[in-house]
Copies of this chain bind each other. A is one copy, B any other.
Amino acid sequence: MSRNICVYLEFLTDSHRRAIEQAAEQTGFSVRFFSPEELEEAKAYVRDCEVLYAHSPELLRAAGTGLKWYCCSFAGVDPYCKDESLFANPHCLLTNCNVYGVTIAEHVVMVTLMLLRRMPEYGEIVRRRSWSNQLPIRSIRDNQVTILGTGDIGVNVAQRMRGMNIGSVTGLSRSGKAKGPADLFDQVLPISKLDEVLPQTKILVMALPDTPETRGILSRERIALLPSDAIVINVGRGPAVDQDALMEALNGKKIAGAALDVMVPEPLPQEHPLWETKNLILTPHVSGNMTLGYTCDRNVELFCQDLLNYAAGRPLEHLVDRRRGY
């Protein structure tokens, strides 16, 4: 079998294609690119491919037992970890692209400020064309922020909160360790310490992958541990939050606000009560939007780097543990 790479992505520019072609040539691969409209052509081609760079369960399912590496252009790879049957080759390597930290961290800073500065209410005042500036607002500075998940997103959030003179930054991760410069976090704790930090948390940022351990991690009991002026921001995966309990806490003013970029289900049906929940900023899963040039450039860079690793027999840098889920 020839050594083929199938690339099926919507965001590539000419210079991205050239970079991938160069890396392929260097490593003895041939590569073909398919646009979003060419799914059927891609499915036919991928049968004889060793490498697939895409984010399409359907295309992955069409690959043969010769597929040895699937590079997913997304950061969240839960659909590929939950369903073994997607891989004809059970030993196929899976990598992801953790390149969304910058854009998602910018989203986190934005919605944090919008909640503290009462923008949903001021927006409503402006829509009515009235004039009032007496709603009390709060500063981001001097708060304690707790970041659940200290990967690419968590590190970028911590850096930006530091730049806004945040009081303290606590990170929580499975290992109790964080990537990035040591002084970004005041402390990094294992997730088992979550109950201890929630009562002091003013801003809770959730940036967790969807795994059996993270599902429902922000339970009703834990929401009750938050102070009444706390805000909750979820940019990881929807199932991490007990959504019913969160809606009750918001409508009952037990916490000050929330911003959900991920929820259950997505898309949210028209009649869902989340749409009407108080002090809640909803966004339709936009925080990791692929339109940032920077995000796309880094995505292609990561693939090309790992292609060199793959061809040389070195470990892939962005390898996912399919059983662990990230």
Chain A 53-64 per-residue mask, 1 if CB under 8 angstroms from chain B, else 0:
000000000000
Any chain B CB within 8 A of the CB of A117?
yes
A233 vs chain B, min Cβ distance (A): 14
Q: A106-B140, A139-B294 are in contact. Are A133 and B285 (CB under 8 A)?
A: yes
Residues from chain B with a CB closer than 8 A to the CB of A142 are: 294
A324 vs chain B, min Cβ distance (A): 28
A275–B282 Cα gap in the complex (Å)?
24
Any chain B CB within 8 A of the CB of A286?
yes
A107–B295 Cα gap in the complex (Å)?
26
A286–B133 Cα gap in the complex (Å)?
5
A33–B114 Cα gap in the complex (Å)?
34
Binding-face segment, A85-93, A241-249, A264-272: A264-272
Residues of chain A from 126 to 161 with CB closer than 8 A to chain B in the complex:
126, 129, 131-133, 135-142, 159-160
A196 vs chain B, min Cβ distance (A): 26
Q: A107-B117, A117-B106, A142-B294 are in contact. Are A129 and B163 (CB under 8 A)?
A: no
Any chain B CB within 8 A of the CB of A44?
no
Any chain B CB within 8 A of the CB of A122?
yes
Residues from chain B with a CB closer than 8 A to the CB of A275 are: 126, 129
Number of copies: 2
Residue of B nearest to A138 (CB): B292
A107–B137 Cα gap in the complex (Å)?
11
Residues from chain B with a CB closer than 8 A to the CB of A141 are: 102, 294
Question: Count of A residues near B, CB < 8 Å?
Answer: 49
Any chain B CB within 8 A of the CB of A291?
yes
Residues from chain B with a CB closer than 8 A to the CB of A116 are: 106
- Decide if B102 touches A283 in the complex (CB within 8 Å): no
Residues from chain B with a CB closer than 8 A to the CB of A113 are: 106-107, 109-110, 113
Residue of B nearest to A276 (CB): B129
Any chain B CB within 8 A of the CB of A289?
yes
Of B137, B159, B283, the residue contacting A292 (CB under 8 A) is: B137
Q: A131-B284, A163-B159, A294-B139 are in contact. Are A110 and B102 (CB under 8 A)?
A: no
Any chain B CB within 8 A of the CB of A250?
no
Residues from chain B with a CB closer than 8 A to the CB of A163 are: 159-160, 162-164
- Decide if B107 touches A289 in the complex (CB within 8 Å): no
Any chain B CB within 8 A of the CB of A103?
yes
Given contacts A122-B284, A133-B284, A162-B163, 10 further A-B contacts (CB under 8 A): A102-B141, A106-B164, A110-B114, A122-B286, A123-B123, A126-B283, A126-B284, A131-B268, A139-B295, A141-B294
Q: List 24 A-B contacts (CB under 8 A).
A: A102-B165, A106-B139, A107-B113, A109-B109, A110-B113, A110-B114, A110-B117, A113-B113, A122-B284, A122-B286, A125-B284, A129-B268, A129-B275, A133-B286, A136-B289, A137-B291, A138-B291, A138-B292, A139-B295, A141-B294, A142-B294, A159-B163, A162-B163, A163-B163
